């Protein structure tokens, strides 16, 4: 008998949409449906050149992408970041409209925001960094506001390990789930600090090269087991246009990336993936391995929107209907019948 591989497509409640009011207060309805997510990451400017075009200055940063993606599924997103006097007020207003709390964002009135410039190669997977101006990031000493205490989820963007640890240490109650991103740069200059943070988190996000560097293993399966022995219960290895792998104990799940005709800018794709991933987990209040499989598909769907335009512009345009339609495309991508012999 044919066995059918099934993927359940969830129709998402969009936090920015009106909630029908039946009995009880609006606040009570929100408390039932929503969980809070603390996002620690950069809010910055990027200058990007790809084979498809060039922009000299556009809003970027890991925290920006995570917030725009996650706020489609859950609010509040409780942002912790630092910006300079030049960060646009209209961008802050747009984020607030989407349920992003900026109480934890420090504004430095006499310095510029973090700035990064890069040029992508023809394959769109490799890039050259042209300029990195830390500016306000040199003085970033995050403070967790009292109103953020008790958050259910924490996502730590790609920042120095001591900054990531500082946020964890300030939380009076450990969140239900802590997700962490990092990169090869911190492995090169702060490996001891990185390993200390790894002991405190539940999920680590890295790409395949970073997984090999962190573990010292060429095999990604062997690398995954060594990394999970360092602390994280779950490991996600991002492989760009080739999808992502999820590891937990002896279980492995592979999620493809959606084939796209045009990719304009992959800069924020990984952070958008992370935002969609944690947004789904927070919305469903389920951190099981089975639900993380769905969360990876959601993250991949959000990332596929991000690359369609420069910066986070595409993320500002999409609707609940767009997200549901894109998730349906993923269902068709991996759905199949097989006769077991």
CATH code, domain with 21: 3.40.1190.20
The partner residues of 115 in beta bridges, in order of sequence, read 45, 133
pLDDT of residue 99 exceeding 80, the answer is yes
Structure tokens at 20: 């029908």
Determine the pLDDT at residue 31.
Answer: 40
CA 269 – CA 248 distance, rounded (Å): 23
Structure tokens at 215: 């573990």
Determine the pLDDT at residue 14.
Answer: 45
pLDDT of residue 182 exceeding 70, the answer is yes
Determine the pLDDT at residue 30.
Answer: 40
pLDDT of residue 13 exceeding 50, the answer is no
Average pLDDT, integer, range 248-261: 93
Nearest Cα neighbor of 7 from 341, 285, 336 is 336
pLDDT of residue 129 exceeding 50, the answer is yes
CA 235 – CA 180 distance, rounded (Å): 10
Determine the pLDDT at residue 9.
Answer: 45
Angle at CA of residue 80, ends 27 and 227, nearest 5°: 110
Determine the pLDDT at residue 337.
Answer: 81
301-314 pLDDT per residue, tens: 999 999 999 999 99
Domain count for the chain: 1
274-293 pLDDT per residue, tens: 999 999 999 999 999 999 99
How confident is residue 213, by pLDDT bands cut at 50, 70 and 90?
very high
How confident is residue 190, by pLDDT bands cut at 50, 70 and 90?
very high
Instruction: Count CB-CB contacts under 10 A for residue 248.
Output: 20
Query: What is the C-alpha R_g of the chain?
Result: 19
19-62 pLDDT per residue, tens: 344 444 434 434 444 589 999 999 999 999 999 899 999 999 99
Determine the pLDDT at residue 34.
Answer: 56
Give the per-residue SS3 of the chain.
CEEECCCCCCCCCCCCCCCCCCCCCHHHHHHHHCCCEEEECCCEEEEEEECCEEEEEEEECHHHHHHHHHCCCCCCEEEEEEEECCCCHHHHHHHHHCCEEEEEEEEECCCCCCEEEEEECCCCCCEEEEEEECHHHHHCCCCCCHHHCCCCEEEECCCCHHHHHHHHHHCCCCCCEEEEECCHHHHHHCHHHHHHHHCCCCEEEEEHHHHHHHHCCCCHHHHHHHHHHCCCCEEEEECHHHCEEEEECCEEEEECCCCCCCCCCCCCHHHHHHHHHHHHHHHHCCCCHHHHHHHHHHHHHHHHHHCCCCCCHHHHHCCHHHHHHHHHHHHHHHCCEEECC
Give the rounded percent of residues in the chain with a pLDDT score beyond 90: 81
Give the rounded percent of residues in the chain with a pLDDT score beyond 70: 90
pTM (2 d.p.) = 0.89
Bigger pLDDT: 6 vs 252: 252
Average pLDDT, integer, range 198-210: 97
Average pLDDT, integer, range 241-248: 94
Mean predicted lDDT score pLDDT of the chain = 90
Average pLDDT, integer, range 126-148: 95
Determine the pLDDT at residue 178.
Answer: 98
pLDDT of residue 136 exceeding 80, the answer is yes
How confident is residue 122, by pLDDT bands cut at 50, 70 and 90?
confident
Determine the pLDDT at residue 336.
Answer: 79
Average pLDDT, integer, range 66-87: 98
CA 282 – CA 107 distance, rounded (Å): 28
Residue 189's domain comprises 2-339
């Amino acid at each position: 008998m044919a066995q059918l591989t099934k993927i359940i497509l969830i129709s998402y409640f969009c936090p920015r949409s009106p909630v029908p009011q039946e009995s009880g207060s609006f606040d009570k309805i929100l408390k039932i449906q929503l969980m809070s997510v603390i996002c620690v990451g950069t809010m910055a400017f990027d200058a990007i050149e790809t084979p498809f075009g060039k922009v000299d200055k556009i809003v970027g940063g890991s925290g920006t992408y995570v917030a725009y993606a996650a706020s489609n599924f859950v609010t509040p997103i409780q942002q912790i970041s630092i910006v300079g006097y030049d960060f646009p007020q209209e961008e802050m207003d747009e984020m607030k409209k989407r349920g992003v709390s900026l109480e934890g964002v420090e504004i430095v009135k006499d310095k510029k925001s973090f700035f990064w410039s890069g040029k992508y190669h023809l394959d769109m997977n490799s890039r050259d960094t042209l300029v990195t101006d830390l500016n306000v990031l040199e003085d970033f000493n995050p403070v967790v506001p009292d109103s953020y205490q008790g958050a259910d989820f924490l996502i730590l963007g790609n920042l120095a390990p001591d900054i990531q640890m500082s946020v964890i240490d300030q939380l009076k109650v450990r969140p239900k789930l802590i997700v962490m991103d990092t990169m090869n740069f911190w492995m090169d200059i702060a490996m001891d600090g990185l390993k200390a943070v790894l002991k405190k988190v539940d999920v680590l996000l890295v790409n395949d090269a970073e997984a090999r560097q962190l573990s010292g293993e060429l095999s990604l399966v062997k690398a995954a087991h060594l990394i999970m022995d360092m602390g994280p219960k779950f490991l996600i290895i991002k492989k760009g246009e080739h999808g992502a792998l999820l590891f937990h104990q002896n279980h492995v799940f592979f999620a493809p990336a959606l084939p796209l005709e045009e990719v304009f800018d992959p800069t924020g794709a990984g952070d958008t993936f992370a935002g969609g991933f944690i947004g789904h987990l927070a919305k469903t209040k389920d951190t099981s391995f089975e639900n993380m499989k769905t969360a990876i598909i959601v993250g991949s769907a959000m990332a596929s929107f991000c690359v369609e335009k420069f910066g986070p512009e595409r993320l500002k345009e999409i609707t609940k209907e767009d997200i549901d339609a894109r998730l349906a495309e993923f269902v068709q991508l991996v759905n199949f019948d097989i006769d077991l012999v």
